[in-house]
Amino acid sequence: MKNLIILFLSIICLYGCGDNKKSSSEDFKSEISFDGSSSLAPIIASIGNKFMKEYGTWDKVNFNLPNEKISIFVASAGSGAGVKSILDNTANFGMLARKIRDSEKEKMKNYKEFMVAYDALTVSVNSKNPIVKIKDNLDTKTIRNIFSGEYKFWSDVDVSLPKKEIVVIIRDLSGGAYEVFQESIMGDTQISANAIQSPSMGALGTKIAENENAIGYASYGVYNQNKDKLFALKVDGIEPTKENILNGSYKIQRPLMFIKNSELSENENEFVNYIFSDLGKQIVNENGYIAVE
């Protein structure tokens, strides 16, 4: 009789444990999604590709996770969309290239942020622009006059420059860069309605590189990726270098981070740890940004 009871309990355990495991697998979400900043998106996508290639399935990352294919999905609709994706619960993580506003944070009951890199906005011109031969610095007032449209020609900046129309390139209004530049440089002055808006920071850098008369606020990373095509001017005498960004003396700077409004699942935690691994930091630096140590 005793042996029969033990056998009966073993059968219950066998089928019961199997059902629990199956239920756990059904609840598991193999895809981790990011949306937001176009500056941070290429970094997360690159790290995600390395992660997927290295492991393939989640059980190879952690034996407690199911044998399901890893999927890291990254969209880049701008920092504003990154916040919205968290509030609307349409992505696991929102990416920002600016500080989060208090009004946004107040809407999140379980707010968490993960700082990935330090970035700055460089005031960059085309490397063939004649200004690079006579000036390496612009003060805040001059930059404001250029971006507001008060200065329409390069000769307005310096009489020795040709009377060619200044082409101002900016990020679209949903981008974090627009907000950072407005706060750091423009103040209450609005950027000209004639400024050309770019859908991503990469596109902004390309537009400057393609037009000899262009000027725009390229991210530190984009500038570092295109040093042969772009020339970064000093701002108020301060050069956008790693040292000046880290010590705070260069004024137009911003964080690159992602946010969440809930506890991390086990597989989310594994990928976040991978982002902040030595390999993840290496990818951040290779993209021209300054990895958080």
Predicted pLDDT of residue 18:
43
pLDDT tens for residues 196-227?
999 999 999 999 999 999 999 999 999 999 99
Instruction: Give pLDDT tens digits for 115-133.
Output: 999 999 999 999 999 999 9
* 120-253 shares the fold of 31-118+255-291: yes
Per-residue model confidence (pLDDT) at position 24: 54
* pLDDT reported for residue 25: 63
CATH fold of 120-253, please?
D-Maltodextrin-Binding Protein; domain 2 (3.40.190)
Instruction: pLDDT band for 4, please (50, 70, 90 cuts).
Output: very low
How much is the pLDDT for 27? 82
Give the lowest-confidence range in 35-44, 149-158, 168-177.
168-177
Q: What is the pTM of this model?
A: 0.86
What residues pair up with 93 in beta bridges, in sequence order?
34
Residue 5's pLDDT is: 39
pLDDT value at position 102?
95
Domain ranges of the chain: 31-118+255-291, 120-253
Contacts of 180 (CB under 8 A, 6+ apart): 97, 98, 121, 252, 253, 254
Predicted local confidence at residue 112, as pLDDT: 98
Q: How far apart are CA 60 and CA 58, in angstroms?
A: 5
- State the pLDDT at residue 26: 67
Name residue, tokens 């050309």: 196
pLDDT digits (tens, 9 = 90+) for 12-63: 333 344 444 433 566 899 999 999 999 999 999 999 999 999 999 999 999 9
Superfamily of domain 31-118+255-291: Periplasmic binding protein-like II (3.40.190.10)
**Tokens representing residue 29 in the block:** 């979400």
- Asked whether residue 163 carries a pLDDT value surpassing 80, the answer given is yes
More confident residue, 18 or 147: 147
Q: Give the pLDDT confidence score for residue 174 in this predicted structure.
A: 79
CA distances from 170 to 59, 140, 193, 279 (A): 44, 17, 11, 32
Q: Output 8 or 34, whichever has higher pLDDT.
A: 34
Which alpha helices (DSSP H) does the chain contain, by range?
Answer: 2-27, 41-55, 58-61, 79-87, 102-105, 140-148, 154-157, 176-181, 201-210, 220-225, 242-246, 266-275, 278-286
As a whole number, the mean pLDDT across the chain is: 92
Q: How far apart are the C-alpha atoms of 41 and 276, rounded to whole Å?
A: 15
216 burial (CB, 10 Å; 0-12 / 13-18 / 19+) is: buried
